[in-house]
Amino acid sequence: MFPERIQIKLFITEEINLADLVSVFHGWIQQNELDGLVLDVADYRHVPNGPGLLLMGHEGDYALDLADGRPGVTYKHKRDWPAGADTVAARLGVALARVRRAAELLKRDTGINVDPARLEIRIADRLAVPNTAESFEAIQQIVLNDPQDVFGPISAVRNVAGDDPRNALTIEVEIAPVPV
């Protein structure tokens, strides 16, 4: 079980107008704000519950996606992991760092916030990591026993993909609030 394609989504906590964000995405490309080679912006606003706005890249794609009626900032790593990303935990850490960077930029450039208490992990490698109870348990243990503590204190981990093997393994993680 060693996935190549990992997607992490941070949920947006407010209404967004994707038309206003096309130029923001183009600016991120022009200013080289994101990790990896980012190539172009694709506008999928016409697709209901779809990818919304997509920043297409070589190694991975960034998006403001509307999947399942739940808007969010998404990073999907596709290929060419950086040096050191030789474990599933390290790969989850890379994907999480990249989506968090996109969320920081979104906040900086538009004022749009993400929910710091929830995220979704989708393993888009059905052959390497099928949507089974065994795969869920393995990924859950990696997230719960995260040696680098990239997720923070976790209060719950749930499989939200159902038991259909045609679905990618999708896990929602709830992060416990940090006491002040």
| Tens of pLDDT, residues 148-175 | 677 888 888 899 888 888 999 999 999 8
Q: Structure pTM?
A: 0.93
Average pLDDT of the segment spanning 136-158: 84
Residue 160's contacts (CB-CB under 8 Å, 6 or more residues apart) are: 120, 170, 171, 172
pLDDT of residue 155: 84
pLDDT of residue 95: 96
35 sits in the region (left: phi over 0; alpha: psi -120 to 50; else beta) called beta
- Could you give the count of Cα atoms lying within 13 Å of 90 in the half-sphere of its Cβ? 8
Q: In the predicted model, is pLDDT for residue 178 greater than 80?
A: no
> 116 falls in which pLDDT band (50, 70, 90)?
confident
